[in-house]
Structure 1
Amino acid sequence: MDIESLLAGPGDRTAALATSHGLRAADAAVRVAEAERFHEDKEDMVGKLTRRWGEPEHIGLQTVRLRTASEEIPEPWAELSLRVGSVYLWKVAEHGRWVALGVADQDPDDEMELLLVVTETDPP
């Protein structure tokens, strides 16, 4: 993964750093074990990004998800809130962008993904 290319240029970017395979058809125990692994991988990545940009905020996205029913939430936050329960969030001042890291594991009918999102849009 080349973070610099994600930070360059305008617009939002989402990169799947890891994706599960076959979890749509897996039983619940397998999915739980795989979710634990994805969250461990996320924590490893948090350590790397913290060394680079300092301590992140850790924010839950449940209230953002609830707000999508009654108000216009800007992208990428609306979509992210539907897929990810919480994110680690850094403001990368030198690029004027936000970097969010989380595990997309909210929908049991989807594969899990470790997502890195880069955006100029402030979190809601």
Structure 2
Amino acid sequence: MDIDRYLGPGHGTTALVTSYGLAVADAAVRRAEGERFFEEKEHLAGKLTVRWGAPYRVGLQTVRLRTGAEEIPEPWAELSLRVGEMCLWRAEEHGRWVALGVADLDPYDEIQLLLVVTETDPP
């Protein structure tokens, strides 16, 4: 994966992989496919770890809870509604945060493997 093409200014969220048909699939099928997405996330995390070291493992549940009481900056507010946990690296040479996560919290939506690049510090 050529991560450098995503390291431009501001922030961006890219779906690297999106499921098809899981929004209406049987729960067992969705769960099995979700596991495949998490395996793919860990595979890509291994590649990024070679470049930037071990990731921070960041749970977004508390961020999700905080969105009701305070202003959470993007992309973190939206991500907290879609992703339970992210692998997070600081790409110092680019002044950016790079994160990988599986958007699977909404059972009525497709599952996505997300790559996030942002200048905004996590809350």
TM-score, normalised via structure 1 length: 0.97
- Name the CA distance, whole Å, in 2 between partners of 1:114 and 1:47: 15
- Name the CA distance, whole Å, in 2 between partners of 1:55 and 1:120: 19
Q: Tell me the SS of whatever aligns to 1:85.
A: strand
- Name the CA distance, whole Å, in 1 between partners of 2:15 and 2:3: 12
* Residues 1:94 and 2:71 are matched in the alignment: no
Q: Tell me the SS of whatever aligns to 1:73.
A: coil
Q: Which runs of 4+ in 1 moved over 3 A?
A: none
Q: State the percentage of identical aligned residues.
A: 72
* Residues 1:116 and 2:123 are matched in the alignment: no
Unaligned 5+ residue runs, structure 1? none
Cα RMSD for the two superposed structures: 0.7
Unaligned 5+ residue runs, structure 2? none
TM-score, normalised via structure 2 length: 0.98
- Name the CA distance, whole Å, in 1 between partners of 2:2 and 2:20: 23
* Residues 1:79 and 2:75 are matched in the alignment: no
- Name the CA distance, whole Å, in 2 between partners of 1:6 and 1:24: 28
Deviation at 1:30, TM superposition (A): 0.3
- Name the CA distance, whole Å, in 2 between partners of 1:5 and 1:28: 36
